[in-house]
Amino acid sequence: MRNFTLKLAFGLLLPFVTVAAPAKTPDAPARKSIGTFDDWQAATNVEAGQTVCYAFTRGKTASRKLPGRGDVVLTVTRRGAAQDAVALNAGFAYGPNASVALQIDKLTVDFYTAQRYAFARDGLAVIAAFQKAANATAKSPVPKAADVTDSFSLKGFKQAYDAISKACPTK
């Protein structure tokens, strides 16, 4: 079951990965911007004939710098039966069995981790909270170092989410 969960989780992040590092081959899937909504961007990608929609924002601030750390990105993905997946790319690999706490106003949501990514267990609850809040803060454990806290603006999230919901409606 865990192997299936990890495969599903990585499958949900494929559109995000292609945004972070666009392929330059002629047969690469076509990505199409839906728009920029304040601090959020929305896009679609076609994979194996299926439209995948995602909205994402980059971290605004971090509590400290980490050498070699990549971009910190918060993503909401809609694809087929796997609607409303919420993931965080921390820009570094998490240690084994790590968990991330995402604070959205007064709500704290736990994310499980797999390599460089953390995934919300209940994407719908996170999305509902995102629509009412102005900011979110993720506290991530760094292997062999103190935790790092990243903040994200939620300004424009509702509009970006509405755009991906329209482009990839629930079936």
Residue 29's pLDDT is 56
pLDDT (0 to 100) of residue 22: 39
Res 23: pLDDT: 38
Residue 24 has what pLDDT? Answer: 38
Residue 26: Cβ within 10 Å count: 5
Render each residue's pLDDT in the chain as its tens digit; 171 residues: 444 343 444 444 444 443 443 333 445 557 899 999 999 999 999 988 889 999 999 999 999 888 888 899 999 999 877 789 999 999 999 998 899 999 999 999 999 999 999 999 999 999 999 999 999 999 999 887 789 999 999 999 999 999 999 999 887
List the chain domain ranges.
2-167
Q: What is the pTM of this model?
A: 0.81
CA distances (Å), origin 50, targets 4, 12, 29, 46, 140: 20, 13, 11, 5, 33
pLDDT of residue 7: 40
Residue 170 is predicted with a pLDDT of 81
CATH topology of domain 2-167: Immunoglobulin-like (2.60.40)
